[in-house]
Chains A and B, each alone.
Chain A
């Protein structure tokens, strides 16, 4: 925890001084954001579908077809889309990031950077951290929309609720901008957790290939637990 805080402080200091590598930032944004799109699309569509299937017995019991859009929309926008996107990005980007940094540490490339008087935080860590936070924010917007589309069409297929009714329920006033904003705030905070823990565990790798594997394992576990704890704290404060 302490060393993660110090890492955070150093990243913020580099960002404020703008001494971070632009090219590296763009490269990481492409690799983390654009290349994660396929799994985000699949996850979001399926999650939307699962939400509707889980709500189906309740909806048929109450005959409240108009409320399906509201129920699914609220669950997706506030909780499920940010949460599952964060878990998938944690698996793909966070784990990958740790593995890369760990490999660099093990093969002494980070020491090489230091020997060339290049600041590893400004060159390697800060761009990755910022790229993860930005990626998670943007990807969550995308996942929100896709999950709602998935939910609307699964609703039509399984319950016979037309997508129009679904979107009417969504926009009938029970849901506000606050719900979307709260989801996006969560997504940003999850990005901070995933970015910090993956960079921290990546830099702390010791002991060859098995060490890299262990570090990746530790990262995904720490980030996943951190995401759930944060989810709780944010849900209660907002």
Chain B
């Protein structure tokens, strides 16, 4: 009888129920994920400096991340430019009949925030899902275990090239996206509000702080997306269902990372350079 009890005691306890227990469990998972992400980030940086040199693979992923996203990103950023200018113009006309400052405000907002943030949200879905799906399939088909058996660190082989490629290409794509939105925005202002492109393309409100904030955001997003999705991919388990789950997690977590970094960087830049 007493032996039966001993065996029962060794059985893993049932999952915690109740709000506090679940909150605690969520918090623990959150902290652990944060530590794992930090670990992968540090290892990626280490391998960027000390790892294998493989320009071929970095160029390949630059093509994957960059060139193959250009069309998608151009469509999205083009529509963003048109929507912003149209909605902004309509609202502006409700209180002020003068649209001459619309272009300047639009360009300021675009350079400081929208080009980087909307572009990165799009890249988080496209690039993030791609990275997690690729690495996840490799984990499920035991190719990552094979790498580990050959004493090759998966972070060095799989995450590092994608990290460097994404860092470079996110900056390029965000600048390209800003250019596309500016063009479509200018055209929309000209067609719908009869605003002269020379009046619209007014850079007086854009200063170095805006440009700096935008570029810092690009770098932060470009670094965060491959790390978060690489982590989701490496944590895959359980067949094709697992790959699907990992991809979902990569998209959700990298989008959340982009939104969170946006809030932090925007707040810091506003406190540093008010007005």
Contact = CB atoms under 8 A, between A and B. Distances in A.
Interface stretch (B4-12, B35-43, B125-133): B125-133
Contacts of A99: 241, 243-245, 247-248
A98 interface: yes
Interface string A92-110: 1001101110110011000
Contacts of B244: 95-96, 98-100, 102-103, 212-213, 216
B255 A228 contact: no
Contacts of A209: 136-137, 140-141, 239-240, 242-243
A208 interface: yes
A39 to B, nearest CB: 6
Interface in B49-93: 72, 75-76, 79-80, 82-83, 86-87, 91
Please report whether the interface of chain B is mostly helix, strand, loop or mixed according to DSSP. Answer: helix
Interface string A77-120: 01100001001101110011011101100110000000000000
Interface residues of A, number: 54
B266 to A, nearest CB: 4
B18 interface: no
B259 A106 contact: no
Given A50-B262, A99-B244, A216-B133, A91 B252 contact: yes
A217 B129 contact: yes
Given A54-B266, A60-B274, A92-B252, A231 B83 contact: yes
A212 B112 CA distance: 37
A78 to B, nearest CB: 7
B97 interface: no
Interface stretch (A4-12, A40-48, A121-129): A40-48
Contacts of B109: 54
Interface string B240-275: 111111011001100110011011001100100011
A54 B76 contact: no
A212 B243 contact: yes
Contacts of A50: 113, 117, 259, 262-263, 266
Please report whether the interface of chain A is mostly helix, strand, loop or mixed according to DSSP. Answer: helix
A158 interface: yes
A220 B136 contact: no
B247 A42 contact: no
Q: Which of A47, A54, A102, A107 has the most chain B CB atoms closer than 10 A to its own CB?
A: A54
Contacts of B132: 213
B136 to A, nearest CB: 6
B199 interface: no
B95 interface: yes
A143 to B, nearest CB: 13
A209 B95 CA distance: 55
A212 B256 contact: no
Given A213-B136, A220-B125, A235 B86 contact: yes
Interface of B: 72, 75-76, 79-80, 82-83, 86-87, 91, 94-95, 105, 108-109, 112-113, 117, 121-122, 124-126, 129-130, 132-134, 136-137, 140-141, 239-245, 247-248, 251-252, 255-256, 259-260, 262-263, 266-267, 270, 274-275
21 contacts: A39-B252, A43-B259, A46-B260, A53-B270, A60-B274, A87-B125, A91-B251, A98-B244, A99-B247, A100-B241, A100-B244, A102-B240, A103-B241, A174-B94, A209-B141, A213-B132, A214-B133, A217-B129, A221-B126, A229-B79, A236-B86
